[in-house]
Structure 1
Amino acid sequence: MNLGKRDIILKEIQYWRNSRLLPEQYCDFLTNLYDDETKAKDSNPLSLHNIGQGSIKLWLFGFGIISLIFLISLYFSVFPWPLQIATALSVLIVCYGFAAVYRDRQTVLSLILAGAGSVLTLGFGLWMIALHDLNPDFWRPLLIAGCGLLWCVLGFVLRIGLLQYSGFAFWALLYAGFAGAFRPEASIFELELLWLPLCIVMVWLSWLLHHRVSGVSGVYFAVGVSLWMMPEIDALLLRQDYPQWISLMLITKIAAGLALLFMYRKKWITWVAS
């Protein structure tokens, strides 16, 4: 129960007490019941209430975590590469592991840990590529592919839509990079053929899975909507000498996409909400 509802109930109990609508012992029982519920929720060691109480164990734990982060940051570059990999994996396992543990009990904390793990995954990868002078043309696409796969899997398992969407976004980035390398002079018609079939597939999967698998249809639908605009974005950001009317075409497609969303709103909202 959130604090607003609890305060309303406690005020109502106090009104019953003052109006003699319930015996005194009943009012005491109900008041203690809701106060005990609040205390039980405050048993989370990372709650603001417990931090404000000044628990020495909690503050020492925070000091240890912050010190460990700074030590890893300062000495990571001098570790041998097996220790670097082991350190990175340990940090990621801790972040994602606690995100899974707190997924149902502390949603915000779980999202923060999953986000931190995702940023660290990419950061450690780029750091190790730079430290060991690895070929970026090979290792960066491999890192992007690995991050995309990891985030898609963990986003699905933990039911974190934003994480899963980020995984698909990285795969789209990789797809755009390869397409740009093989066909840098591709016309806008070719770009439409590169991206729009993927848009249709993702929207179709959103419809297909909304009754079968919970928590994924909204992500797939969001990916499909994003892919709808990717041909023009690809031309504007990744291609050279694009015609000036591409910007107008992008605006037109956004308007057409919004019109389609409005026309079929009762159907896709059902998919997203499932």
Structure 2
Amino acid sequence: MEQKRKEIIINEIKYWKQTRLLPEQYCDFLLALYTEGNRDDVEQPTKQVPAWAIRVTMIMIGVFLPFALLVIYFTELSFVLQTLILSLFVIICFMIVRFFVQHKMLTHIALIVGALSLLLLSIRVSDIFFSESTSALAITVICNCFVWLLIGWRFSLMYFVISGVVGIILLFSSFFV
């Protein structure tokens, strides 16, 4: 059998095993048959992350977002400290997303919170450096919308694509209407 065909069949069997379309024993048998007993071609199952780690991460994200809003809007902290706290929060969110992607787990909440935090951070920086400049604010929002489009395209998340497109349309319509 052709090598390319064999790879396609092996990938399909792996998909069946992952989505449990066939019982695991059948998939193992078929993989052994098509790999000719060579189990090096077959991926070893990834280590499962404990459920408590997922819960702690989600709680941490859920606590950080209100904290970020509190830091920006209700404190008299210096700009540098506010920027540092928000930057740290954005970095933590995207590190969590990377961790979830590596373990093939749910990344939606961390992505959404990270994107909103990045929007808050960039608007705050734009407001401090270019106060009273609507064009700087518009450029900041456009850049965030393009980041959302990129995230939506990269992870095949339609709500990010829609958010990016709607944000761009609303921004342009506010300038031209």
TM-score class, shorter-chain normalisation, is: 0.5 to 0.7
Residue 83 (structure 2) aligns with: 85
Instruction: Quote the sequence identity (%).
Output: 14
Give the alignment of 1:1-274 within 5 angstroms: 43-45=48-50, 50-51=51-52, 71-76=67-72, 77-103=75-101, 105-107=103-105, 109-125=106-122, 134-135=131-132, 137-180=134-177
SS at match of 2:98: helix
Distance in 1 of aligned mates of 2:146 and 2:91: 16
Q: TM-score, normalising length from structure 1? A: 0.38
Distance in 2 of aligned mates of 1:146 and 1:85: 18
Q: Is the 8 A contact 2:61 2:113 kept in 1?
A: no
Q: Is the 8 A contact 1:103 1:158 kept in 2?
A: no
SS at match of 1:176: helix
AA partner of residue 168 (structure 2): W
Q: CA deviation at 1:63?
A: 6.8
Q: TM-score, normalising length from structure 2? A: 0.54
Distance in 1 of aligned mates of 2:56 and 2:148: 32
Q: CA deviation at 1:118?
A: 2.1
Distance in 2 of aligned mates of 1:110 and 1:61: 11
Q: 1:90 to 1:179 in 2, by over 3 A?
A: same
Q: 1:98 to 1:141 in 2, by over 3 A?
A: same
Distance in 2 of aligned mates of 1:160 and 1:59: 22
Q: Is the 8 A contact 1:100 1:158 kept in 2?
A: no
Bigger mean CA deviation after superposition, 126-135 or 138-147: 126-135
Residue 31 (structure 2) aligns with: none
Question: Alpha carbon RMSD of aligned pairs, Å?
Answer: 4.1
* Deviation digits for residues 35-70 of structure 1 (CA, Å, limit 9, x no counterpart): xx8xx77x323xxxx34xxxxx88777776666555
How many residues are paired up?
139
Q: CA deviation at 1:148?
A: 0.9
Please list every run of 5 or more consecutive structure 2 residues that lacks an aligned counterpart in the other structure.
1-16, 25-44
Q: 1:127 to 1:93 in 2, by over 3 A?
A: same
Distance in 1 of aligned mates of 2:144 and 2:150: 10
Distance in 2 of aligned mates of 1:124 and 1:131: 11
SS at match of 1:149: helix
AA partner of residue 44 (structure 1): V
Q: CA deviation at 1:84?
A: 1.9
Residue 6 (structure 2) aligns with: none
Q: 1:147 to 1:58 in 2, by over 3 A?
A: closer
Q: Is the 8 A contact 1:152 1:167 kept in 2?
A: yes
Q: 1:83 to 1:2 in 2, by over 3 A?
A: same
SS at match of 1:120: helix
* Deviation digits for residues 126-146 of structure 1 (CA, Å, limit 9, x no counterpart): 566778993263444233212
AA partner of residue 97 (structure 2): A
Distance in 1 of aligned mates of 2:107 and 2:21: 24
Q: CA deviation at 1:152?
A: 2.0
Please list every run of 5 or more consecutive structure 1 residues that lacks an aligned counterpart in the other structure.
10-36, 52-56, 181-274
Q: 1:98 to 1:59 in 2, by over 3 A?
A: closer
Q: CA deviation at 1:147?
A: 1.2
AA partner of residue 149 (structure 1): F
Q: CA deviation at 1:160?
A: 2.7
